[in-house]
Structure formats: C-alpha cells, structure tokens
Structure 1
Amino acid sequence: MTQAVTDLYVSAGLPDYYVNVFFFPIQQSLRYVAGKEASRVIWIEIIHVARNWDGVDLEGPSKFKEAVNRVTEPYVRDDIHFEYVVIEGPAALWQINGIDPPESFGPEQQYVATQNKKLLDDLHQRLLSH
C-alpha cells in the first residue's frame, strides 16, 4: 500500500519524499465505532499541506476520493469498517529538516522556493544513500 500511496502523489507532480505513511496498530479494546467496540476497523488520516482544495473545484475532491478508493480497495473488505479523512494545513507552517518547501512561498518568492526545492532534493538523495 505504501508504494501505491506514494505513486498517487508522484503522479500529481509531488516528489516522493513528501509522502509519509505510518501504521499505528490500536488494541481492540481501544477501538470504537458508534459507541461500540469494533474489531475490524481501518481509519486513515491524510494530511495535505503541499496542495489544498480551493473550495471551488468540485471535481477535484471526487477524483481524489476515487483515487484513494482505488489504492485502498485491495485492503478493504465488507466486514471492515473503513473510513478516511483529509486534513489540510497551511504550507507556510511546514518544514522538512528545517527547510521550507517551495509550496510555502508566494509568487514573489520563487527564487527562494527554487533554491529550497534543490536543497530538499539534495537532502533526500543524501538520506537515500545511507
């Protein structure tokens, strides 16, 4: 699933190192749906910072949900409660290893955005080589 999620974002033009996937198992006695203990639950929280919904484009959210459903379909069965939510955050409050990603800059700051993109790409390559 992690590669499929990464591929989804890369196909939208984002670098692969923007994609983080974490799995947190939660013991059954701590999982509830509708106030009742739930044994078979998948809950996904997707945090978008690099791209946000503009509130106008009505097709974008539908297409994104269709893409998420395609990625998750192999893991979800009828006997599983499956739910996800997309939470959006402002790019201006985002950093990767102390570097502001290009999306955090406005149009008048594109030189800095380009420089920071190069720094992030170089950092990613260094981390991959370790």
Structure 2
Amino acid sequence: MPLWTVHHTPGFFSDDDKRGLASSVADHYEKAGLPRFYVVTLFQETRPEDFYVGGEPASAGVRITIDHIARHHRDGDGRRRTAQWIRRMVEPYLEGHAGLHWEFHVDETSEEMWMINGLVPPPGGSDAERRWAERNAATPY
C-alpha cells in the first residue's frame, strides 16, 4: 500500500487539485502492477501557526509523507528513480506559489505489519494479487 499524506497550509490545493493529484498517484501505482485500491491519499490542512519550518511559521507550505508497504526498492537507483518520479508528479501542483516551502520523503514499511479489511494481502505479483487488482477489492484467497 502506498499511503500519501499531504500536509498543507489552508487553501493551497483546490478540490480539483486534490482529485487530480490523487488520481495521478493511483494511476502510477496501478501501471506498476499494484491493485488501485492499495493507494490511499490523504490531504491534511495545517494552519500556518501549526506549520513551522526552521522554527518559524510557514505562510505557504506542503509536506508530503509517503509510506510504501506493498513493494520495496532493492537498490539506490530504484529509490532515486522513485524520488524523481514523485518530484515530477507533484511539481505541477506546486509551481507558481511565492514563498512556498515544500518537501517529501518516502518510508518503506514492513509488509508483515499490514492488513486490508483484516486480510493479509497476497504476495506481490501473485495470481491472488492479480485477482484483487481485477476486482479492485480485498477478498479472501
């Protein structure tokens, strides 16, 4: 499961921006072979007086945390490619905002500590995972 949590100052993203970014994120992971419903994107508005950078409130800020659980990179090249893909995906939503501070990071979490609807997801690339992707839902296997 990729979980994207987008912390942002008020009014930064329109509803259309949120839908567009969340859809683009899900599209990418689906193309990479993950069931689309694995992808969760949360937008969390954070007031400038609660969003500090370098000890000072940020008038315009975006901080994205991404948890990768379903798949992990095996090497630094894969991690760098993913970081560049993320940058290219989010930049169109961030361009043109004066004084914006933005950043992201990705954590790779153990898949052994993950369930969907109480089910342990099937192994990556397995027939069971392909069935989950086709059904776009977690079902017993």
What TM-score does the superposition give when structure 2 sets the normalisation length? 0.72
Q: Percent identity?
A: 31
Which structure 2 residue ranges, 5 or more long, are not aligned? 1-20
> What is the distance in 2 between the residues matched to 1:35 and 1:21?
27
| Higher RCO, 1 vs 2 (CA within 8 Å, ≥6 residues apart) | 2
Match of 1:42 in 2: 62
Q: Which runs of 4+ in 1 moved over 6 A?
A: none
Match of 1:58 in 2: 76
Shift of 1:124: 2.0
Q: CA RMSD in A?
A: 2.5
User: Which letter does structure 1 place at the counterpart of 2:45?
Assistant: P
Which structure 1 residue ranges, 5 or more long, are not aligned? 105-109
1:9–1:115 CA distance, 2 compared to 1 (3 A): closer
8 Å contact from structure 2 (residues 22, 41) kept in 1 = yes
Bigger share in strand: 2
8 Å contact from structure 1 (residues 53, 61) kept in 2 = yes
Match of 1:14 in 2: 34
- Structure of larger gyration radius: 1
1:40-86 per-position Cα deviation (integer Å, ceiling 9, x unaligned): 100001000001133xx221011101110111011113631111010
Which of 23, 33, 39 lines up with 1:3 in the alignment? Answer: 23
User: Which letter does structure 1 place at the counterpart of 2:137?
Assistant: H
8 Å contact from structure 1 (residues 99, 120) kept in 2 = no
